[in-house]
Amino acid sequence: MVNEKILSKKEIAEFIEREINSNHDLEKAMIYLFARWQDEKEYEDFKEYEKIMAKEIEKVGVKFVKGSKRPFGVIFQIQNLNFLFYMTSKFKSWKHIK
């Protein structure tokens, strides 16, 4: 798990780009969840989406924190720092959050 190593800010950014932002399996899962949420958000419990997000994000070796409805995405942790991997209908990205 990446949380077991001490990484510099540059190494964290490189890891996120390589293992999360460029991860086609994670992207595919998140696109599916995003599209489904857009159609079903008035009827479905977001906790069910968070269960899938947790499973997918933990595959890359980071700690799941919680899902985010707006922007749609997943909050994860590396070395006690929180990050958000998020998407809209036009793009995906990530950012450090408090």
Contact 21, 85 (CB under 8 A): yes
Q: How far apart (Å, rounded) are the C-alpha atoms in residues 27 and 20?
A: 8
Q: pTM value?
A: 0.91
H or E segment and range at residue 63? strand 63-68
H or E segment and range at residue 87? strand 81-87
Where does the chain have alpha helices with state H? 9-15, 24-40, 46-58
Output the tens digit of pLDDT for each of the chain's 98 residues. Answer: 565 678 899 999 999 999 998 999 999 999 999 999 999 999 999 999 999 999 999 999 999 999 999 999 999 999 999 999 999 888 899 999 98
What are the structural domain ranges in the chain?
2-97
Residue 82 tokens, joined: 């929180």
